[in-house]
Structure 1
Amino acid sequence: MAQAADILVTGASGHLGRAVLTHLLDTLKIPADRIVATSRKPEELENLRARGVELRKADFDDAASLAAAFAGVKRLLIISTDALDEPGKRLRQHQAAVKAAEAAGVAHIVYTSLPNAKTSLVSFAPDHAGTEAAIASSSIPGHTILGNTWYAENLLHSLPNALATGNWYTAAGDGGTSYITRNDLALAAAVAVASDFTGKRTLNLFGSKAYTVDEVAELARKAIGKPLQVVQVPVEGLIQGMIGAGLPEPVAHVYASFDTATKAGNLAGSPDDFKALTGKEPEPFEQWFSKTGAAALSA
């Protein structure tokens, strides 16, 4: 007799969601018939259906679809949405998901937040803090909040232009970032949602060491063989420079807040929570950079 599906992963068609499902199936060996994967476009996940994973449609802007998707689920991973185009939209989406989970009788929510969301200077931290508050005030018995720090892969968006011009403009000062790979964060989420932990906890997931912009630039120079100068500028100057380069002003403010948060130390921390959750060390950033990052930047 087939096992009733009791573990659900939202955002399954995204990079993180796909990686979580891979870890559930291949690393943790969770039976496929225990897993539900949801997406606005479940037809894009037919490879998972072929492996025995149940697919359901879930649209965070459609509360009815969430209620149907979460039916019968005991442990739910809510991967934060990417709805940053409208102030407050993402928080409303997450609040709707928590409400639907509560109505469906979900026993444990795992949520991908960011470290210390209540005090972080990242511009969208209030979305995460508000979601954490909604989870805490719900009647759902247990939760695991995962404070995911910066993906190492985020550098693949910022470094190409810097390497092309030879200048990396930043307002981060001497602040460091404890980069961690998306794969490691996916493993952590998979372990959390598949575990039998029933209490309430908040875990901040950092890489093993914090790197300043100057230290990352040095790694890039050595790996790529191109000159790269770090240019420290005031945050307002950074914003105006990004706007001048064609970024919409709201987006420029979001990106600049990453530097502000870095300078304040919001994105640096200990890997202890990651190790305690997964039983392993996070992949060293320099190893990732030499193996994966440099290859991508050289392509």
Structure 2
Amino acid sequence: MTTPPTLLVTGANGQLGRLVVEHLLDTVKVEPSRIIATTRNPAKLADFAARGVTVRAADFAKPETLAEAFKGADRLLLISTTSVGTRLVEHQAAIDAAVAAGVQHVLYTSIPNPVAPELLIVHDHAKTEDALAASQLPGWTVLRNNWYFENLNHTIPQLLQSGQWFNASGDGRIAYIARSDLARAAATALANGDNGKSALTLGGATAYTVPELAALIGSTLGGEIAAIPVTVPHLEQGMIGAGLPAPVAAVLSSAEIHIANGRLGDVSGDYRALTGAEPQSLESWLVANKAALAKAA
């Protein structure tokens, strides 16, 4: 009789990581004893430990500790870290530690079209995908996650207040998807036992241009939002003028080019094929969060 694989989630105290562990327990129905959740501060995962999940300390900035933290795991979800500038080193260390610990399959949270040169943060994802392909891992899966609905939590209140959406995304589309749906996809892929080498594009069932988004948000939440096209330099300077640090404004501006070039508009059937479910629609997410978004505005 084959022993069910032990599943490990890194960054399990993060917003995505927590949802992945919850989906493993409550949606996929994995036995808690088969789950390892790692984080820099295990005390913050006491609720999962109380449910029978093994909780371990793992700090990607201390790569010498990772092989021990990953010990006994058969399948591992490597959630990309937020350490822009150093995270490629962290991801490589995690992949090396997984190999050293005998992990059979690593899943990684990437982005759609990671080879696109215009997005300033794309390099880390592309190189991590390359590192997986070059590793001695028997199997790996790349989860190319589109933009979260939740990315709009800070944007929408400002749009409702000003009635204006300055953008440089042209006719580019974004297949937004709920963070919880991406967590469900990750949990399902982690638990399904596949040992191949593949990449999945995970996004919503509909891709929107900024004018379409503006119209949908306005009609759903009550208000009128005008999508105003501007050049990338004007957008970047406007963000800096509004108080954003120049490096952050540069990344956000590069994302506009990424969108304009069609990098986030792919609508695939990968989410449905993986989970057997339809992703939540943006309309239903807006309705569910209407009160909070309107209050924030």
Q: TM-score, normalised by structure 1?
A: 0.95
Equivalent-residue separation in structure 2 for 1:243 and 1:68 (angstroms): 44
Q: Mark the runs of 5 or more structure 1 residues left unpaired by the alignment.
A: none
3-state DSSP of counterpart to 2:256: helix
Equivalent-residue separation in structure 2 for 1:285 and 1:220 (angstroms): 9
Which residue of structure 2 lines up, in the alignment, with residue 296 of structure 1?
Answer: 292
The one of 244, 247, 253 aligned to 1:256: 253
Which residue of structure 1 lines up, in the alignment, with residue 7 of structure 2?
Answer: 7
Which residue of structure 1 lines up, in the alignment, with residue 271 of structure 2?
Answer: 274
3-state DSSP of counterpart to 1:239: helix
Task: After the TM superposition, list the runs of 4 or more consecutive aligned residues in structure 1 that deviate by more than 4 angstroms.
Answer: none
Structure 1 residue 4: Cα displacement: 8.8
Are 2:12 and 1:16 aligned? no
Of stretches 268-277 and 50-59 in structure 1, the one that deviates more from structure 2 is: 268-277
Which residue of structure 2 lines up, in the alignment, with residue 174 of structure 1?
Answer: 171
Structure 1 residue 284: Cα displacement: 1.6
Determine if contact 1:179/1:207 at 8 Å carries over to the other structure: yes
In the TM superposition, 1:1-299 aligns within 5 A as: 6-84=6-84, 87=85, 89-119=86-116, 121-292=118-289, 294-299=290-295
Determine if contact 2:144/2:200 at 8 Å carries over to the other structure: yes
Equivalent-residue separation in structure 1 for 2:272 and 2:138 (angstroms): 25
Amino acid at match of 1:286: E
Determine if contact 1:41/1:57 at 8 Å carries over to the other structure: yes
Amino acid at match of 1:100: A
C-alpha distance after superposition, 1:124-162 (max 9, x if no partner)? 111000001111101000001000011111111222222
3-state DSSP of counterpart to 1:30: coil
Equivalent-residue separation in structure 1 for 2:161 and 2:282 (angstroms): 22
C-alpha distance after superposition, 1:31-75 (max 9, x if no partner)? 000000001111111000000001001111101221111011110
3-state DSSP of counterpart to 1:198: coil
Identity %: 48
Equivalent-residue separation in structure 1 for 2:256 and 2:101 (angstroms): 40
Determine if contact 2:220/2:283 at 8 Å carries over to the other structure: no
Structure 1 residue 120: Cα displacement: 5.7
Amino acid at match of 1:171: A
Determine if contact 1:4/1:33 at 8 Å carries over to the other structure: no
Equivalent-residue separation in structure 2 for 1:42 and 1:4 (angstroms): 25
Equivalent-residue separation in structure 2 for 1:116 and 1:226 (angstroms): 34
Amino acid at match of 2:78: I
Of stretches 159-168 and 73-82 in structure 1, the one that deviates more from structure 2 is: 159-168
3-state DSSP of counterpart to 2:154: helix
Equivalent-residue separation in structure 1 for 2:211 and 2:171 (angstroms): 8
Equivalent-residue separation in structure 2 for 1:111 and 1:120 (angstroms): 20
Q: TM-score, normalised by structure 2?
A: 0.95
Amino acid at match of 2:237: Q
The aligned length equals 293
Amino acid at match of 2:157: P
Equivalent-residue separation in structure 1 for 2:229 and 2:213 (angstroms): 14
Equivalent-residue separation in structure 1 for 2:99 and 2:220 (angstroms): 49
Equivalent-residue separation in structure 1 for 2:249 and 2:182 (angstroms): 26
Equivalent-residue separation in structure 1 for 2:90 and 2:12 (angstroms): 16
C-alpha distance after superposition, 1:204-224 (max 9, x if no partner)? 112101111111111221223
